[in-house]
Chains A and B, each alone.
Chain A
Amino acid sequence: MHHVALITGGSRGLGATLAAFLAAQDYDLVLTSRHADELEAASRAIAHYGGRILQIAGDVADEDHRQKLVAGAWELGGLDLLINNASELGPSPLPPLADLPLDRLERLLAVNVVAPLGLAQSALPLLQQRQGLIVNLSSDAALGGYPGWGGYGATKAALDLISLTLANELKEHGVAVVSVDPGDMRTVMHQAAFPGSDISDRPLPEATIPFFAWLLGQEHGRVSGRRYQAQSTLWEIAA
């Protein structure tokens, strides 16, 4: 029986890197992204590993789409790992909160907060069957108070609290939840945060692979509820 992972934002950046890392370990994958052509390319790039890949293009803020993703996992036999990686940044360049259009903030909340929780809710029965793991991607902006990052940062702060609360609530159901700040990476999103700047000194998303290799090997009960920095020097587990 192969492991099954569902990755949102799976067509590029960190999501595509994790998809390749898991495909090489014989995971079957449900990948989603709003960009059908990029999703197709990302899937093709890892098809040679031989695992099953369901690419389902769409918007995670759309509840029907989320249902399709969970149905896809069901079709693959279950779900061991839900990676809520898809995020929106908001307007680029990043405006101060005083100028952040509220409809954009509502959209940020829909994609970065409501969608990950919605997927967790819908996928819960499948995750419970396999004592699965939910990974919610966070950011140092959740803690920083950096000017310009208020909208995005607020959604990640909310997601952090959802991760912690879910971890506590799901403990007795055998489902673990962790929050992961991947650190700065050379991605399309990072470039959008710094339009026109040279970001070539930032590490590629591959820099987080050692962390995920480690995380997926840990006893769930000892990592659930924790918030990790994927590029830090220390990853601790509960005693």
Chain B
Amino acid sequence: MKPADFLFERPAGQVATMPPEMRGLARDEVRLLVSTPRRHAHARFRDLASYLTPGTVLVVNRSATLAASLPATGRLGPFMLNLSTRYQDGLWLAEPRWDRSRPGPLPLHPGVSIEAGGLAGRLIAPYPGLARLWFTRIDGDVEAAIARAGEPIRYGYIEPPLPPLSAYQTLFSTVPGSAEMPSAGRPFTPRVVAELEADGIAILPIELHAGVSSLELDPETIDRPVLYPEPFRVPVATAATINQARREGRPVIAVGTTVVRALESAFADGQVRPAEGFTRLYVHPARRVQAVDGLLTGLHDPLASHLAMLHALAGTELIRGAYAEALREGYLWHEFGDTHLILRDSIRNGW
């Protein structure tokens, strides 16, 4: 694994700046790149079922997105506090930013008093090794503040009119807790799910509450980047169904990198265990992907830590080939963009 494996030139225009619904497409009409060791195919997401074999198990993240971006003020003036992860009642890991486009850093130190979403708070300590994230105390009813004053976390590339919170939920979103949408599930629609079910493809949930976007990998520490942990839960029924599929040789496919992180964290002694806690597992090529055979995901930026996971799953050659295709064919990056189905075993999947 070397930094160059994760480098490529993405043209600035190859970014989805709004949801497909605002571009005249249905959610399931985004593009789907299908990559196996044998070939790459270009399709529409709504045709997903035709690329999966009957008996496949799809594992989705049922975490729903919070309106986690709160307006904040302090001695330094108005700023934005993006809540990333809840640690305790009233203690969050959060990212203070100037605004959507300007991450800072802000001139902050431990003990600074703030007000966020109308509630009093205090910066406690920076996250060790990730100085842009702060443990932040917020006194009072944070849920109510989110409901009253929160907006979904949006970055500078999203164009007005800004999408509402509903644009950041998926068909599977039932357990609130993510700072940013687990976006791989976004293109699923009732008609896609009906086709999958008709083909004997099961859909099972895990929970992983995604925090704010990780920054690029630092080439200096690519083997051991500082990653912060996220809350996750693998239910008993999901673990049991995955293990049965694995015993019977049926493919298990993660819908989203969050699902890979959760399942790999729960994997021990050759099977997926029911598990709950916080995980900061870094899935990278030096560590095999064991719980899943494939991944449905979006397109990831150069040096994104998720690229290491993709390479771990399917190998550097396959992923770099896929990204060359996606770049050439004008696929769109980011949470409202196009999708990528990666199958590491072409024989099992028919082609």
Contacts and interface: CB of A to CB of B under 8 A. Distances in A.
Interface of A: 20-21, 24-26, 48-49, 203-204, 206-207, 209-210, 213-214, 216-217, 233-237, 239
A213 B281 contact: no
A206 B125 contact: yes
Nearest to A238: B276
Contacts of A209: 125, 127-128, 135
A20 B281 CA distance: 28
A237 B229 contact: no
A234 B111 contact: no
A235 B278 contact: yes
A21 B126 CA distance: 11
Contacts of A235: 229, 277-279
21 contacts: A20-B110, A20-B125, A21-B125, A24-B111, A24-B124, A24-B125, A48-B111, A209-B127, A209-B135, A210-B228, A213-B93, A214-B229, A216-B88, A216-B91, A233-B265, A233-B279, A233-B280, A234-B277, A236-B277, A239-B236, A239-B274
Interface string B90-132: 0101000000000000000011000000000010110111000
Contacts of A233: 229, 265, 279-282
A129 B86 CA distance: 27
A26 B139 CA distance: 11
A207 B89 CA distance: 22
A239 B280 CA distance: 19
B275 interface: yes
A203 B137 contact: no
B157 interface: no
Contacts of B89: 217
A82 to B, nearest CB: 18
A28 B67 CA distance: 33
B111 A237 contact: no
Given A20-B125, A24-B124, A210-B127, 17 more contacts: A20-B110, A21-B135, A25-B124, A49-B111, A209-B127, A210-B93, A210-B228, A214-B87, A216-B87, A217-B86, A233-B280, A234-B265, A234-B280, A234-B281, A235-B279, A236-B277, A237-B277
Nearest to A17: B125
